[in-house]
Amino acid sequence: MGSGCGQGNGSANGAAVAANLAFTKFLFVIARADDDAHGARLRTAGGNLARGFFNDFDIDDAREMQAQRFETIQFYVREGDAPDPESCPSPCIQKARHMVQVSSKYRPRLQEIDEELRRRIGDSAEILSLEGAFRNPRYSSPEMVNYSTKGSPPRRSGRLSKNAIVVPIRKTPEWWQKSTLERHSYFYPHVDHASATPVKGHAQAAEKGIPSLFRRVYHNPDGYERAGEFDFVTYFECDDEGLPVFDQVLNSLRDPHLNPEWRYVEEGPIWRGRRVLRW
C-alpha cells in the first residue's frame, strides 16, 4: 500500500535529510448545507482555482512527465452517503462530498490555494487538508523497484481510471525506534520475529494490486512522528474493475500473518470518490 517501508530518510524526523522534490495538498470540502447556493459557490471557486493549473483529469502516461513541469489540479466527488457520525467523528475527511488535489514544486503556492478556497467558500463549508511531499526512494533496491513497477498500469485520464482513493496513515513510535534496515526488511519476505514463521511481507501482500492500481506515495513534508499529523498519504487511481482488487490488497496488508508491518500502522479515514473534470 506504499506505507513507507522501503522509503524513508534514515531517521525518525529527518526532513532535512530527505529532499522534498514536489508538494501536494488534498483539500476536503464538508458542506454545512448542501444546497444550490453552496453548489454555485463551489463551482465558481473551483473554476477560479483551476486557472494556471494543468488539469490532471486529462492526464495520460504519455503526458505524465511533461505535466510534472507544471502545477496540476484534480477535482473529485464522493459517491454515496456520508458515513455515520459515530463511526467517523469530526474532523473526518470521509464526510467531504468534494475534494481537490493541487500539486506544485513551490509549497507556498499550495497554501495560497488553500486560503483562496477557504475565502471563496466562506462559512458554507468546513475545509480539511492533508499535505504531502514526493520524494525519491532512498532504501528500495533496484530489484524491489522493478518488482513493484513491472506490469503496473500507465497513468490514464479520468475518463478511464475514474476512481480515486486517499489513504492517510501514521506509523507507531515502536516502528520509528527500529533501525532503517530492520524497517526495510518488513517489505520483503522474511521470518516474522513474533511468530517465528515465514511471511510474505508488504510487497508480496500487495502484489495483486500491481497490474491494476496506479499508486503514488506522499511523505509528510515536515518529517515523521509529528503529533496529530500523518506520516504518509498514499493515493490510488483505478477503473471500476480495480476497486475490488484494492479491497483485496488492503485486507491482505492488514493481516499481520501476511504482513507483520501492519502491527505498526495507524490508519486514518479512507476517502473514496470519482475524478471529475470540474465541480
Residues 246-250 have a mean pLDDT of 97
Task: Give 71's pLDDT tier (boundaries 50, 70, 90).
Answer: very high
For residue 102, give its domain range.
22-131
Least-confidence region, from 64-68, 193-197, 273-277: 64-68
Strand partners, 28: 99, 128
Residues 126, 197 share a domain: no
Residues 240, 177 share a domain: yes
Instruction: Kindly state whether residue 7 falls inside one of the protein's structural domains.
Output: no
What pLDDT is stored for residue 16 in this prediction?
Answer: 43
Instruction: Kindly state whether residue 10 falls inside one of the protein's structural domains.
Output: no
The better pLDDT of the pair 230, 64 is held by 230
Residues 184, 112 share a domain: no
Residues 167, 89 share a domain: no
Residues 172, 108 share a domain: no
Q: Is the pLDDT of residue 14 over 70?
A: no
Over the stretch 164-210, which tens digit does the pLDDT of each residue have? 999 999 999 999 999 988 998 998 898 988 888 889 989 889 989 99
The better pLDDT of the pair 119, 4 is held by 119
The percentage of residues in the chain with a pLDDT greater than 90, rounded to a whole number, is 65
Pick from 225, 193, 44, 67: which is nearest to 120 by CA? 44
Q: Which of 108, 131, 154 is the last residue of a domain?
A: 131
Structural domains in the chain (count):
2
Q: Is the pLDDT of residue 252 over 70?
A: yes
Three-class secondary structure assignment of the chain? CCCCCCCCCCCCCCCCCCCCCEEEEEEEEEECCCCHHHHHHHHHHHHHHCCCCEEHHHCCHHHHHHHCCCCEEEEEECCCCCCCCCCCCCCCHHHCCEEEEEEECCHHHHHHHHHHHHHHHHHHEEEEEEEEEECCCCCCCHHHHHHHHCCCCCCCCCCCCCEEEEEEEEECHHHHHCCHHHHHHCCCCEECCCCCCEECHHHHHCHHHCCCCEEEEEECCCCCCCCCCCCEEEEEEECCCHHHHHHHHHHHHHCCCCCHHHHHEEECCCEEEEEECCC
The better pLDDT of the pair 175, 138 is held by 175
Residues 87-111 have a mean pLDDT of 92
